[in-house]
Homo-oligomer: A and B are copies of this chain.
């Protein structure tokens, strides 16, 4: 009801036809939002107190650590958000840098870019369960790469990784570790990966963690396996519109500052340092993320993460009671089950791969909604 009341009765500034078209679109979006359990985006956000900022052409152009003459920006707020995550991910004090991105993909591109500057002849290793955007990023950066097998649960196959690395011991390693794969939320264990480096005496290595999905709540709850800078990450990318929640896709990337400085050396620019992938960067996402962090606080965010885990336990139970074979990885909020019919997949916006689908127990998804979906699925199966 609260949500419904936000839909405008009419669009005043457009001609009636265009206004109706827009109103229909907005109504349809709110309608489709009612059945939304298949994608990893929090639904419990409310940034309406920040809407006045949408009157302004704000822009955090360039490096967040360096002032700009473009003064309509939220750099100081962005810095606080970066600082919060640097602490959460145990980044080395005084040796970290980062910025708020347009999403996980940009953060992963940045991490791989830094890795390439460090090891131009490096080979990127990543599992077959890795998000498709990684392959695109590798291609964009003109890097060599090798795809490693993954286990049934989606985790990288360490034996396959060891064998392939063994064959290329002369080349630096750029390891792309998944902290929550897209389909099954599997986590590659970077401690095991580092053990392989030691075993093969590989000294030139770089680990980038694609923690878009599970990074924030895993770190908040200290879930195992650990993946932060103390565990050996050289850069970490997370998503802001997933666990934290944002209407605009956003994310955050953190790298060791001494690595990033190599990019600064390679590309010295006039005026400000152009150290980010995007030049102009929206000012609103940092303010959203800051607002969320402040509103919930560390304790509130942890409770929110625990709620998700509890919902995942509930969901697997509910599936099993209904006689449907569902499972989840340890400490995962993604519940995997055999793909339902196209009708249900479309109604509930459920992604599917190789015969499996998933529900993601994100903040704001309710037990009632999941129960309703499972009821519909049961009816379909009988």
Give me the interface of A with B, judged by CB distance under 8 Å: 3, 6-8, 11-15, 18, 22, 25-26, 29-30, 32-33, 36, 38-39, 41-43, 45-59, 69-72, 74, 76-77, 102-106, 113, 131-133, 135-136, 139-142, 239, 241, 245-249, 266-267, 269-271, 274, 277-282, 284, 287, 290-291, 294-295, 345-346, 349-353
Contact in complex: A278, B102 (CB < 8 Å): yes
A-B contact pairs, 18 of them (CB 8 A): A8-B49, A13-B295, A18-B294, A22-B290, A26-B52, A26-B53, A29-B53, A36-B57, A41-B57, A42-B57, A48-B54, A102-B102, A105-B280, A132-B269, A136-B267, A247-B284, A248-B248, A270-B353
12 additional contacts (CB under 8 A) given A47-B54, A271-B351: A8-B52, A13-B295, A25-B76, A32-B71, A39-B70, A54-B247, A56-B247, A57-B246, A102-B282, A113-B140, A136-B269, A239-B280
Chain B residues positioned under 8 Å from A279 (CB to CB): 103-105, 131, 133
Q: Take A55-B6, A71-B346, A284-B248 as given contacts and tell me if A353 and B271 are in contact as well, using a CB distance cutoff of 8 Å.
A: yes
Known: A15-B294, A274-B136, A350-B69. Contact between A56 and B39, CB under 8 A? Answer: no
A133: chain B residues within 8 A (beta carbon): 274, 279
Are the CB atoms of A280 and B72 closer together than 8 Å?
A: no
Question: When the two chains form their complex, are residues A282 and B69 in contact, meaning their CB atoms are under 8 A apart?
Answer: no
Task: State whether B247 touches A55 (Cβ < 8 A).
Answer: yes
| Known contacts A22-B291, A32-B72: A59-B249 contact under CB 8 Å | yes
Instruction: Give every chain B residue within 8 A of A59 (Cβ-Cβ).
Output: 39, 41, 241, 249
Q: Which 3 A-B pairs have the closest CB atoms?
A: A249-B280, A142-B142, A105-B279
CB-defined contacts of A131 to chain B, threshold 8 Å: 279
A351: which B residues are within 8 A, CB to CB?
Answer: 69-70, 271
Least distance between A355 CB and chain B CB atoms (Å) = 13
Cα–Cα distance between A140 and B136 once the two chains are bound (Å): 13
From B15, B18, B33, B69, A349 is in contact (CB under 8 Å) with B69
Q: Is the CB of A69 within 8 A of B132?
A: no
The answer on a CB contact under 8 Å between A280 and B70 is no
Q: A13-B295, A14-B291, A49-B8 are in contact. Are A57 and B346 (CB under 8 A)?
A: no
Given contacts A14-B291, A141-B140, contact A274 B132 (CB under 8 A): yes
Residues of B within 8 A of A142 (CB): 141-142
Check if B52 sits within 8 Å of A6, measured CB to CB: yes
Query: Are the C-beta atoms of A346 and B56 separated by less than 8 Å?
Result: no
**Interfacial chain B residues near A105, Cβ < 8 Å:** 277-280
Residues of B within 8 A of A282 (CB): 102, 247-249
Q: Nearest-CB distance from A301 to chain B (Å)?
A: 14
